[in-house]
């Protein structure tokens, strides 16, 4: 993941976290206000109930306990709200720190981009300089080759130097021989004159002179031929020397040009070396910045880990909020149940007062009849007593028939399980209709189990909704409520068959956690086995099974030992 992507992801998570925290706090505040309002209404009803003199002590104690439970739950909600606010403050501080770090990361990213652009430009220049350096190396090779050629020509010139000296000697010798030849020719001319003048000289002397002249002529011809060949040789050597001189001059000119170019290349190399040192420093700086970037990357990874932790905290907060919402809804349902119980009690009190009034009237009528029939015969007295007995029986029957009417009204006002789950926002009406269609095919199946099997709700949510429907307590953590000493009141086979477990016993009442509190057969079996009155409460099936495995296994092991 690149630095820009990480920064964008960090910003997005910060926004989501802030919005989620705000929604959580607002929701908890609304639920707390609703709960406080419901509690105030319940307190009003409690004060109304406490004003009645005929209120039963046990009911008053029960209401006080439930009132304390409501207060404790509201205190828990207030503590959760305070914790959520503290968490929100911490999250805001973390968000501020993350935003500061985000700004630093953006500044560092911009500076890194600028430096990267400069490095790219310098790398381009370095590539051009490397090309110039390669060209300089080629010129150096050519210069070295020219120097080697010039050294060879110098060696050849030095080798020809003796020949040049020899040519000079030959030229000198040729000049001397030319002068000798000229003198010989002059002598020959003189001899010819002498010969012409002395034609009649002595023949012996003439023959000697002729032979001498012939020898001189032959020597002269030989000298002429030697001189000619020597001149030709000298001429060829002069031509060769001139060629060598020209080549030497060309080489000198090339050498000078190569030296000038070499000087230019040396200057270029010095420039390249200077820039190379600058590049080395720049590379060292880039390495340091790269190390800094690695450190920033590591810091960014740590920030991502913190973000993951924040996401986990958000998830836990969301889960706690949903759980608090469910608890608030359960509390509201229980408050509704208490309010309805208050209304039922008021109705019962009114009916009781009405029946007591009617009974008092009947008693007064009976006393008047007895007073009037004091002097009457025994038969009429018996008949009057029979009538009075019939009236008392009728009053008792009226009193006995009233509670079922109240029970019928209570059942008619009890909310259905599906409606409770819909109000809690756990399922939709379409999902409920789907489950009801499945239940219609098999009426023996329970709606809660169907919803769990369809994956629409969890066991805990179904159990909590069932407790709200039955206006019973919902036990979320059995281990906190259970007294190990009461396990003996329910045998293991009953606990496993009816999926129940005892929690506490008080004043002859055994509190039993059940997955199905409507199972009257199970309640009857438990009352027979324990000889105690059963007060059912609701817990999830998995929690009950876990407690059965834990406590009954331990008891069996201790009994065997």
Q: Say how far apart CA 429 and CA 32 lie, in whole Å.
A: 27
- Token pair listed for 297: 């990357």
Judge contact between 324 and 129, C-beta under 8 A. Answer: no
Q: Is residue 258 part of a domain?
A: no
- The answer to the question of residue 489 being in a domain is yes
Beta carbons of 548 and 484 less than 8 angstroms apart? no
The pLDDT value recorded for residue 335 is 74
Angstrom CA distances, 368 to 361, 362, 388, 401, stand at 10, 10, 11, 28
User: 286: phi > 0 → left, psi -120 to 50 → alpha, else beta; which?
Assistant: alpha
Residue 179 lies in a domain: no
538 to 9, 381, 468: CA distances (angstroms): 45, 58, 9
Residue-level pLDDT at 311: 75
Write the DSSP string, 258-306. HHHHHHHHHHHHHHHHHHHHHHHHHHHHHHHHHHHHHHHHHHHHHHHHH
Last residue of a domain, one of 453, 471, 489: 471
- Looking up residue 542, the CATH number of its domain turns out to be 3.30.300.160
Integer Cα distance of 351 and 235 in angstroms: 164
**CA separation for the pair 544, 478 (Å, rounded):** 8
Q: Are residues 483 and 556 in the same domain?
A: yes
Is residue 479 located within the same domain as residue 436?
no
Instruction: Check residue 238 and give its pLDDT.
Output: 79
Q: 464 with 534, same domain?
A: no
Residues in CB range of 180: below 8 A, 6 or more apart: 223
495 and 545 together in one domain? yes
Please, are residues 498 and 539 in contact by the beta-carbon 8 Å criterion? no
* β-strand partners of 537: 513
Q: pLDDT at position 529, please? A: 93
Do the domain assignments include residue 300? no
Q: Are residues 421 and 499 in the same domain?
A: no
Yes or no: say if 486 and 505 are a contact pair by the CB < 8 Å rule.
Answer: yes
pLDDT for 495: 94
**Spatial separation of the C-alpha atoms in residues 154 and 244, rounded to whole Å:** 10
Task: Establish if 116 belongs to a structural domain.
Answer: no
Residue 9 lies in a domain: no
For tokens 């420093």, the residue is 281
| H or E stretch at 524 | helix 520-530
Measured distance CA(8)–CA(11) in Å, rounded:
5
Give yes or no: residues 464 and 489 share one domain.
no
Q: Are residues 420 and 477 in the same domain?
A: no
For 153-160, which contacts have Cβ atoms below 8 Å and span 24 or more sequence positions?
153/244, 153/247, 153/248, 153/251, 154/248, 156/244, 157/244, 157/248, 160/240, 160/241, 160/244
Q: Are residues 560 and 477 in the same domain?
A: yes
Q: Is residue 264 part of a domain?
A: no
Radius of gyration of the chain (CA): 65
**Residue after which a domain boundary falls, among 442, 471, 500:** 471
Residues of the chain falling short of pLDDT 70 = 1-7, 10-11, 14, 17, 21, 24, 31-32, 34-64, 66-67, 70, 84, 95, 164, 167, 191-192, 194-210, 324, 328, 333-334, 337, 360, 363-414, 554-561
Task: Retrieve residue 173's tokens.
Answer: 């010798």
How many helices (H) does the chain have, and how many strands (E)? 12, 3
Q: Which of 471, 494, 515 is the last residue of a domain?
A: 471
| Same domain, yes or no: 466 and 551 | no
CA dist., res. 344 & res. 413, Å (int): 11
Burial class (CB in 10 A: 0-12, 13-18, 19+), 328: buried
In a shared domain, residues 547 and 495: yes
Do 489 and 553 belong to one domain? Answer: yes
What's the pLDDT at 26? 75
pTM above the 0.85 mark? no
Say how many domains are in the chain: 2
Q: What is the DSSP letter of 474?
A: B
Domain that holds residue 433: 416-471
Apex CA 413: angle with CA 412 and CA 414, to 5°? 95
Q: Are residues 513 and 558 in the same domain?
A: yes
Residue 187 belongs to some domain of the structure: no
Q: 73, exposed or middle or buried, with CB in 10 Å at 0-12, 13-18, 19+?
A: middle
Distance CA(531)–CA(381), nearest Å, equals 47
């Amino acid at each position: 993941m690149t630095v820009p992507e990480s920064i964008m992801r960090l910003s997005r998570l910060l926004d989501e976290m802030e919005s989620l925290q705000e929604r959580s706090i607002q929701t908890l505040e609304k639920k707390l206000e609703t709960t406080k309002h419901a509690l105030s209404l319940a307190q009003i009803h409690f004060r109304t109930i406490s004003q009645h003199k005929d209120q039963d002590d046990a009911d008053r104690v029960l209401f006080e306990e439930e009132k304390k439970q409501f207060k404790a739950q509201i205190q828990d909600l207030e503590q959760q709200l305070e914790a959520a606010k503290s968490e929100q403050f911490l999250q805001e501080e973390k968000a501020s720190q993350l935003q500061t770090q985000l700004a630093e990361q953006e500044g560092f990213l911009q500076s890194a981009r600028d430096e990267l652009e400069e490095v790219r430009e310098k790398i381009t220049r370095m590539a051009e300089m490397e090309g110039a350096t390669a060209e300089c190396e080629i010129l150096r090779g050519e210069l070295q080759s020219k120097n080697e050629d010039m050294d060879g020509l110098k060696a050849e010139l030095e080798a020809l130097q003796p020949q040049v000296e020899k040519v000079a000697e030959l030229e000198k010798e040729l000049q001397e021989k030319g002068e000798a030849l000229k003198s010989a020719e002059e002598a020959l001319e003189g001899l010819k004159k002498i010969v012409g003048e002395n034609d009649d000289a002595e023949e012996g002397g003439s023959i000697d002179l002729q032979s001498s002249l012939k020898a001189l002529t032959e020597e002269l011809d030989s000298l002429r031929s030697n001189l000619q060949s020597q001149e030709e040789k000298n001429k060829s050597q002069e031509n060769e020397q001139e060629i060598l001189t020209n080549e030497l001059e060309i080489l000198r000119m090339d050498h000078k040009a190569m030296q000038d170019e070499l000087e230019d290349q040396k200057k270029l190399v010095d420039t390249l070396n200077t820039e190379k040192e600058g590049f080395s420093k720049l590379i060292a700086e880039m390495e340091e910045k790269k190390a800094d970037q690695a450190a920033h990357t590591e810091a960014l990874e740590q920030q991502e880990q913190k973000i993951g932790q924040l996401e986990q905290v958000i998830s836990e907060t969301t889960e706690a909020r949903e759980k608090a919402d469910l608890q608030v809804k359960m509390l509201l349902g229980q408050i509704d149940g208490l309010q309805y119980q208050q209304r039922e009690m008021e109705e019962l009190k009114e009916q009781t007062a009405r029946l007591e009034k009617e009974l008092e009237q009947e008693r007064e009528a009976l006393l008047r009849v007895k007073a009037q029939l004091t002097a009457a015969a025994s038969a009429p007295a018996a008949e009057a007593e029979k009538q009075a007995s019939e009236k008392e029986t009728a009053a008792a029957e009226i009193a006995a028939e009233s509670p079922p009417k109240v029970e019928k009204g209570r059942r008619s006002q009890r909310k259905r399980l599906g409606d409770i789950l819909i109000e809690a926002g756990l399922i939709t009406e379409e999902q409920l209709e789907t489950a009801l269609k499945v239940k219609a095919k098999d009426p023996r199946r329970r709606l809660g189990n169907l919803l769990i099997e369809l994956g629409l709700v969890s066991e805990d949510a179904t159990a909590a909704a069932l407790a709200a429907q039955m206006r019973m307590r919902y036990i979320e953590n059995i281990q906190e409520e259970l007294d190990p000493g009461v396990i003996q009141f329910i045998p293991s086979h009953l606990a496993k068959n009816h999926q129940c477990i005892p929690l506490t016993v008080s004043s002859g009442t055994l509190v039993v956690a059940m997955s199905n509190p409507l199972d009257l057969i199970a309640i009857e079996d438990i009352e027979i086995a324990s000889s105690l009155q059963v007060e059912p409460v609701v817990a999830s099936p998995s929690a009950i099974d876990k407690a059965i495995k834990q406590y009954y296994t331990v008891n069996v092991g201790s009994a065997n030992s």
